C-alpha cells in the first residue's frame, strides 16, 4: 500500500521498514474478523427468528411433534416449498411440501383460503399400514413417520392409501419419498427448512397430545381442515389455526378441475388376466360337477395357469424396483397388498399343479388341486377387492369393486371356455353345452355393462365424489366410455348369434378378443375415473 512504502531517500531505517511489515502481517482480513466475532456464539445467527417456532421441550409419553399452521398468515408465497426442495436436494418436479387453495362454492362471497401442507405424521398412518415391504417407521419418541428409501420397492400403493396424497413417487429413483419433518435438524435444535423459510411465521413445530389428536379426528374434517379428507381415517397430527371460521363445504382447488387419475396399465393387465384365470377354473369345476363338459379340463386348467402367470408377470412392471419384489410379503400383518400377493401365489401353485396333473402327470390329483385352486382363486379375488377398498375411496368400496371383479371373472372365464371348446370341437359335437355356456357368457357380459352404467350415475350433490367421477366419464373420458360400450354390445349380440346359430373358431376367437379389449377399457376407467376428496395442493 502507498502509506507503507518507504523510499531509500526518506531517511527511514531498515528497522522501521521491518516493523511496519510485521504490523501489516498482524492485520486480520474481513473473513478472519467475522470468524472471531462469531466464534463465541453457541446458537445459530438466525436463532432469534425461529426459536419461538420450536417447542420448549421434547415430546413425552402420549405426545409427538406436529406441524402447526396459521392459515391467516399463509400468503401462498411458496417459500416453504422452495426451502424444502433445496435443503432436501429434491429432483426437478419433486416436492414434499405443497401449497394450494380451499374454495367456498356454497356462498356468494367467494371465500378462498391458501393452505400449506406436508406430511401430517398421523397417529395411524395409512401409508405404513398399506406398505407391503414395511418401508415406513413411526418414531415412538417423536411421532415422526419416516420412509425407509432402501426398503421401498416402488409399488406406489402408499400413494393410494394415504388420503392426503403425501408420499410422492420419484420415477428416476424408482421409489417413493416424503417429508420427515427435517428430523435431523430437529434433533440438533434446528427448525425444519419450511419453518425457517416462511417470512410470516405461518408454520411452526408444536407438541400435541395423542388423546386430543384422536378427539379432533373423531370430530370430522371441520375440526382439522374444512374440505380435506376425513381425519378419522388416519388421525393426522397437523394443527390448522385461523381466527375466522372457515365455511363448511369448501373444496380443494384440485377438486374444481376434472382431471383423470393415473391409468396404471400394469395393474389393468394384472387384474384382468388373474380374474380371467379364476373364471376359467370356476367354469372347469362347474362343468365337472354338473357333468356337462365343454372343453377338456387339461386345456382349461392350462389356459388358467397361463393367464395367471402372465398377470403376475405384468404386475411387476408396476414396480419401480422389481428386483426387490421378493420383499412384498413382509407386510402381511397389515397390508392387503401383501395378502393379495400371497393369495395369488397359492392360487397359481394350485392351478399349475392341477394343470400338470390333468395333462397326464399324477392324474389322480387333478380334481383335488382344481378344487383347491377354485377356493384359493376366490380368496385371491377378495384380497384384490380389499386392496382397493382399503384406500377408503368411495368409488372403490367393497361392494362396487367386488361386483366389477366378479362379473369380469365370470364373463371372461365363460367366454374363454366357449372359445376353447369351439376350437377343440369337431363339427356337430358338444353343440348344446357350448351354446348353454355362450348364453351364460352373454348374460354375464350384459350384467357387467349394466353394473358399470349404474355405478356411473351421479349423486344429487354435484360436488360429491361420485358426481365428479360421473362427470369425468361424461367429459374427458367420454370416448373411452363409448368405445367400451360399443365393444360390450357387439360381444353380447355376437354371443346371442352363437346361441342361435352356432359358431366357428375364427368367430369365437374374434368375440373373445373384443370382450377382452372391452374389459381393458373398463378397467382403465376403473382407475382413471376414481376421484377422491383432495388435499389442497396435492395436485401441484
The half-sphere exposure of 39 on its side-chain side, counting CA atoms within 13 A, is 7
Mean pLDDT of 28-53: 63
Mean pLDDT of 162-185: 94
pLDDT of residue 254: 81
Provide DSSP, 213-268.
HHHHHHT-HHHH-TTSPPTTTT----EEE-SSPPPTTEEEGGGGS-------HHHH
Intervals of CATH 3.30.70.20 along the chain? 50-256
Q: What integer pLDDT is reported at residue 49 of this predicted model?
A: 58
User: Does residue 250 or residue 299 have the better pLDDT?
Assistant: 299
Region 103-118 average pLDDT: 79
Whether 522 and 528 have beta carbons less than 8 Å apart is answered as no
Q: Are 397 and 389 in contact (CB under 8 A)?
A: yes
* pLDDT exceeds 50 at position 4: no
Buried-state track 150-174, b at ≥16 Cβ within 10 A, e below 16: ebbbbbbbbbbbbbbbbbbbbeeeb
Q: Mean pLDDT over residues 59-68, rounded?
A: 94
How many H helices and E strands in the chain? Answer: 19, 10
Contacts of 437 (CB under 8 A, 6+ apart): 283, 294, 414, 417, 418, 421
Confidence of residue 533 (pLDDT cuts 50, 70, 90): confident
Burial of 530 (0-12, 13-18, 19+ CB in 10 A): buried
Q: CATH topology for 265-528?
A: Formate dehydrogenase/DMSO reductase fold (1.20.1630)
Residue ranges, comma separated, of all CATH 1.20.1630.10 domains in the chain are 265-528
| Least confident range of 53-62, 232-241, 475-484, 490-499 | 53-62
Cβ-based burial of 488 (10 A; exposed 0-12, middle 13-18, buried ≥19)? buried
Top-tier CATH class for 50-256: alpha beta
H helices present in 76-147, as ranges: 79-87, 126-130
Amino acid at each position: 500500500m502507498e502509506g507503507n512504502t518507504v523510499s531509500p531517500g526518506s531517511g527511514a531505517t531498515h528497522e522501521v521498514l521491518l516493523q511496519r511489515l510485521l504490523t501489516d502481517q498482524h492485520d486480520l482480513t474481513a473473513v478472519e474478523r467475522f470468524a472471531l466475532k462469531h466464534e463465541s456464539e453457541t446458537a445459530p445467527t438466525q436463532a432469534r427468528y425461529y426459536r419461538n417456532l420450536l417447542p420448549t421441550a421434547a415430546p413425552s409419553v402420549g405426545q409427538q411433534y406436529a406441524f402447526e399452521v396459521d392459515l391467516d398468515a399463509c400468503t401462498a408465497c411458496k417459500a416453504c416449498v422452495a426451502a424444502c426442495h433445496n435443503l432436501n436436494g429434491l429432483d426437478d418436479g419433486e416436492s414434499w411440501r405443497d401449497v394450494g387453495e380451499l374454495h367456498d362454492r356454497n356462498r356468494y362471497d367467494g371465500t378462498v383460503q391458501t393452505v400449506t401442507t406436508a406430511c401430517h405424521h398421523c397417529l395411524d398412518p395409512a401409508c405404513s399400514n398399506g406398505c407391503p415391504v414395511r418401508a415406513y417407521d413411526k418414531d415412538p419418541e417423536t411421532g415422526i413417520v419416516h420412509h425407509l428409501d432402501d426398503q421401498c420397492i416402488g409399488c406406489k400403493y402408499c400413494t393410494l392409501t394415504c388420503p392426503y396424497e403425501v408420499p410422492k413417487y420419484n420415477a428416476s429413483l424408482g421409489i417413493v419419498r416424503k417429508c420427515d419433518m427435517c428430523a435431523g435438524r430437529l434433533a440438533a435444535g434446528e427448525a425444519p427448512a419450511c419453518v425457517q423459510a416462511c417470512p410470516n411465521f405461518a408454520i411452526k413445530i408444536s407438541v400435541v397430545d395423542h388423546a386430543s389428536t384422536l378427539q379432533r379426528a373423531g370430530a370430522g374434517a371441520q375440526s382439522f381442515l374444512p374440505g380435506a379428507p376425513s381425519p378419522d381415517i388416519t388421525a393426522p397430527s397437523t394443527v390448522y389455526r385461523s381466527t375466522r371460521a372457515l365455511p363448511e363445504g369448501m373444496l380443494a382447488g384440485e377438486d374444481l378441475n376434472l382431471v383423470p387419475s393415473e391409468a396404471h396399465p400394469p395393474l389393468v393387465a394384472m387384474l384382468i388376466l388373474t380374474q380371467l384365470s379364476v373364471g376359467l377354473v370356476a367354469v372347469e369345476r362347474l362343468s365337472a360337477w354338473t357333468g356337462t363338459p365343454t372343453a377338456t379340463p387339461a386345456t382349461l386348467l392350462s389356459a388358467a395357469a397361463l393367464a395367471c402367470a402372465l398377470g403376475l408377470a405384468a404386475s411387476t412392471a408396476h414396480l419401480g424396483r422389481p428386483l426387490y419384489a421378493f420383499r412384498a410379503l413382509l407386510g402381511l400383518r397389515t397390508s392387503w397388498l401383501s395378502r393379495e400377493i400371497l393369495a395369488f401365489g397359492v392360487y397359481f401353485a394350485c392351478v399349475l399343479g392341477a394343470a400338470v396333473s390333468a395333462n397326464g402327470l399324477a392324474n389322480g390329483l387333478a380334481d383335488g388341486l382344481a378344487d383347491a385352486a377354485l377356493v384359493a382363486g376366490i380368496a385371491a379375488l377378495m384380497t384384490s377387492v380389499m386392496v382397493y377398498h382399503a384406500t377408503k375411496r368411495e368409488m372403490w368400496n367393497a361392494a362396487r369393486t367386488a361386483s366389477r371383479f366378479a362379473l369380469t371373472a365370470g364373463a371372461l372365464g365363460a367366454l374363454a371356455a366357449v372359445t376353447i371348446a369351439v376350437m377343440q370341437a369337431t363339427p356337430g359335437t358338444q353343440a348344446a353345452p357350448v351354446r348353454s355356456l355362450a348364453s351364460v357368457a352373454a348374460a354375464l357380459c350384459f350384467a357387467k355393462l349394466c353394473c358399470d352404467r349404474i355405478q356411473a350415475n351421479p349423486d344429487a350433490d354435484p360436488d360429491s365424489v361420485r358426481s365428479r367421477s360421473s362427470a369425468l366419464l361424461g367429459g374427458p373420458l367420454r370416448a373411452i366410455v363409448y368405445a367400451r360400450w360399443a365393444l360390450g354390445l357387439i360381444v353380447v349380440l355376437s354371443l346371442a348369434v352363437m346361441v342361435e346359430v352356432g359358431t366357428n373358431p375364427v368367430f369365437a376367437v374374434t368375440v373373445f378378443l373384443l370382450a377382452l379389449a372391452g374389459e381393458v377399457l373398463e378397467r382403465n376407467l376403473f382407475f382413471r375415473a376414481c376421484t377422491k376428496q383432495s388435499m389442497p395442493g396435492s395436485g401441484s
